[in-house]
Structure 1
């Protein structure tokens, strides 16, 4: 499996001196794991650090990735999966109620889904495993 990632600038506090600084965040899919990482270096105190393995993004991280990279689109080839198959695949990846999964599957089947590149690749893997034919297209390719 290939590694998929996107990065963006992100404002946070230095872990050493507390100064507000710009760091780099990375959303990554590697070895089947979707995670968020932070890498920073404080210009005031010189502290350098990496925080790896957040399973859910901190406040503002997802927005920063979307702002820096634009959304990616997940498309489903017509007739390649029923809404029920799509619902099952979506629920394997996300903690969705039946109502949420149904709405997301209907959206996927009708016009596709949008999100970060990594989010769409995670969904694409589950859908392909269920036999669906899907495409992921980044906003710069649209």
Structure 2
């Protein structure tokens, strides 16, 4: 299991509809440039240290460190998007970039609750007007 599929998940969930096409293009471009760089670099990294590489153990320790850093990045900076509509995604990104992962979901849920209450009040007003007319 690796991080190779993350760009597809993030791309499909996070970008607003108005910029999704161009964002998808840019994400795929960066993905393929990264894949090309990785395919060219890994073989050189696997060389022994005296030949200019990191050696097999050093290469895989480097990947391990990158995975830990990536996990921390996802934990703190990527918001949970489960159950959120595409139109409601913008609310997740109102906060500053370092607060999105930790506080974005709670802030968006609070805003959704406020909006739902406002919608319920509007519906109640409509029902009250209809009852008054009868």
Q: Give TM-score scaled by structure 1 length.
A: 0.22
- Report 1 or 2 for greater relative contact order, CA contacts < 8 Å, sequence distance ≥ 6: 1
Instruction: Name the structure with the higher helix share.
Output: 2
Q: Give TM-score scaled by structure 2 length.
A: 0.23
Instruction: Name the structure with the higher strand share.
Output: 1
Higher Cα radius of gyration: 2
